[in-house]
Amino acid sequence: MFETLKQFCEIPAPGGREDLIHVPLAERWRPLVESVELTRVGNLVAHVGGNGKKLMLIGHGDEIGFTVKYISPDGFLFLTSGQRDDRMKPDLRGSYFTPLGQRALVLGRKAQVPGVFATLTGHILTNEQRQKTALDWNDIWVDVFMSSAEEVRAAGIEIGSRVVWNPPITQNGKLITGKAMDNRVALALMDELLRRLDRSRLAYDLYLVSTVQEEAGLIGAQSANLGLDCDYAIALDTGLSGDVPNVDPRDISTRLGYGPALIHKDLYSYSYDLNNRIVDTATEAGLPLQHAAYSLYGTDAGALIRSGVAAAALVVPARYTHSPFETVHTEDLESTLQLLLAFLYRVEPA
**pLDDT tens for each residue of 18-37:** 999 999 999 999 999 999 99
Query: Sign of the CA dihedral 296, 160, 320, 42?
Result: positive
- Length of the chain in terms of residues written: 350
- Gap between the Cα atoms of 156 and 109, Å rounded: 5
pLDDT of 129 > 80? The answer is: no
**In the structure, what pLDDT confidence band is assigned to residue 225 with cuts at 50, 70 and 90?**
confident
pLDDT of 201 > 70? The answer is: yes
In the predicted model, what is the mean pLDDT of the chain?
92
- Give me the pLDDT at residue 122, please: 74
When mean pLDDT is compared over 59-68, 94-103, 208-217, the highest value belongs to 59-68
**In the structure, what pLDDT confidence band is assigned to residue 228 with cuts at 50, 70 and 90?**
confident
Q: Where are the domains of the chain?
A: 2-63+179-345, 66-165
- Give me the pLDDT at residue 94, please: 43
- Gap between the Cα atoms of 254 and 191, Å rounded: 25
- Gap between the Cα atoms of 258 and 287, Å rounded: 10
What pTM did the predictor assign? 0.93
Q: Which residue, 214, 159, 176, is CA-closest to 22?
A: 214
**In the structure, what pLDDT confidence band is assigned to residue 89 with cuts at 50, 70 and 90?**
low
User: Where are the extended beta strands (E) located within 196-309?
Assistant: 205-211, 232-240, 261-265, 290-293
Average pLDDT over residues 113-125: 86
CATH class of 2-63+179-345: alpha beta
- Gap between the Cα atoms of 96 and 182, Å rounded: 13
66-165: CATH topology is: Elongation Factor Tu (Ef-tu); domain 3 (2.40.30)
**In the structure, what pLDDT confidence band is assigned to residue 124 with cuts at 50, 70 and 90?**
confident
Which residues does residue 205 pair with via DSSP β-bridges, in sequence order?
Answer: 54
pLDDT of 99 > 80? The answer is: no
What is the per-residue pLDDT across 252-276, written as a single tens digit (0 to 9) for each? 999 999 999 999 999 889 999 999 9
Pairing between strand 76-81 and 103-107? Answer: unpaired
Q: Which residue, 167, 166, 164, 187, is CA-closest to 316?
A: 187
> Residue 58 corresponds to which amino acid?
I
- Gap between the Cα atoms of 332 and 318, Å rounded: 10
Q: Identify the residue with better confidence: 81 or 148.
A: 148
pLDDT of 92 > 90? The answer is: no
